[in-house]
Amino acid sequence: MTRPAGTLGYGEAADELAVQYESVSFDEVHGELLAHYPPAPAAVLDLGAGTGRDAAALAALGHRVLAVEPTPELRAHGERLHAGSGVRWMSDALPDLPQVRASGERYDLVLVTAVWMHLAPGERRTALRTVSGLLAPGGRLSLTVRHGPVPAGRRMYDVPDEETLALAAEHGLRPVHQASRQDLHGRGGVRWTLLVLERPAARQHPA
């Protein structure tokens, strides 16, 4: 698979990034969002899973987790660090996710953690359509989006919350949680948007 432009710089820095990613816990990253995640066992898709920190934690909670990571160096770290976790790994990438879509599976929870800002505007529109199509009725999409200075050698965009919410609405997704927080690594000028979006369950027709 050709490396997506949004992954620029991640392969070369994979060893350093693996340490960084694993230095914060799943609960630190997702703690305030957990109340909005479905109970186990649920089908979970972790897009841009990195080293699999979140995927492994969700698997430990009893979920069935597919971790998708397009950067082979990061995926190798994840398969090593979280061997035996029960997480399935796949090489695929937003915005189209052809391998994931080919399976025909639908998910109760899709995580897109620290990924969305790597997608160009046109890619974000396609990605939202792709992800919304992978959600089961009642399924939820968790997005954490970075704002602030762009590290050297990376491709990032500033993504207004209003844009994401408008794209979500176009595909029938409604917000159930929206918040902002400072960077967990203490990087100056960096803050994060936290969004949980839901695909409403299909209405029951009267008999």
Give DSSP secondary structure letters for 37-73.
Answer: SPPSS-EEEEET-TTSHHHHHHHHTT-EEEEE-S-HH
Say if residue 206's pLDDT is above 60.
no
Mean pLDDT value across residues 116-126:
96
Say if residue 152's pLDDT is above 90.
no
Residues 6 or more apart from 35 whose CB is under 8 A from it? none
Q: Provide the CATH topology of domain 5-192.
A: Rossmann fold (3.40.50)
14 φ, ψ (degrees, to nearest 5): -60, -40
Tens digits of residue pLDDT in 29-44:
999 999 999 999 999 9
pLDDT for residue 2: 63
Token pair of 78 as six digits: 């994840």
Q: What is the per-residue DSSP string for 124-184?
A: HHHHHHHHHHHEEEEEEEEEEEEESPPPTT-------HHHHHHHHHHTT-EEEEEEEEE-T
Q: Tell me, yes or no, if the pTM score tops 0.85.
A: yes
pLDDT for residue 205: 47
